[in-house]
Amino acid sequence: MADESVPEGVTVTIADDSVSATTVVAAPPAEVFDYVRRPANHPAISGDHSVRGTRVGPEVLGEGDRFGMDMKLYGIPYRITSGVKEFEEDRLIAWAHAGGHRWRWTVEPDGDGSRVTETFDLSTARPPVKPGLRLMGYPARHRPNVARSVANVRDHFSA
């Protein structure tokens, strides 16, 4: 029986401190990476639809950049500022907000397309944040979100 929280063609891996989702995208790595690194695209990528819009920051993210997003979770709007913590051109970008946990995207060549992975990484969370997130069921709780996020990226290039 298929897991309805995981779109077809998406593979999910859960570890102690992280959850990752991977799929193949019909576009070259540079194009996929460019799409993911643009905060204006994050509302369309967001698997749980919590990202609502760009508030401040550069149009295209690079090493060390900071950016702010309008968010909404459980019906409550809020704003969050994140910073790019890992960056490798056309291959890797990861950002974190004050809690320290990271959202990491990797893009690798795969035939004529790309293999794209999003990872929610709790290992980098600040000490007071990590136990609270674990009590709330993370990282596993993000399983459907990362699965839908990579599917959203894939579907953007399939349209």
Give pLDDT tens digits for 18-61: 999 999 999 999 999 999 999 999 999 999 998 999 999 999 99
With a cut of 70, say whether residue 3 has pLDDT above it. Answer: no
According to the model, what pLDDT value does residue 52 have? 95
Nearest to 45 by CA among 103, 88, 85: 103
pLDDT band with cut points at 50, 70 and 90 for residue 5:
confident
* The pair of three-digit structure tokens given for residue 18, joined into one six-digit string: 């992280």
pLDDT band with cut points at 50, 70 and 90 for residue 2:
low
Q: How far apart are CA 26 and CA 96, in angstroms?
A: 28
Contacts for 137 with CB less than 8 Å, ≥ 6 apart: none
Torsion region of 4: left, alpha or beta (phi above 0 gives left; psi -120 to 50 gives alpha): alpha
SS3 157: helix
Q: With a threshold of 0.85, does the pTM exceed it?
A: yes
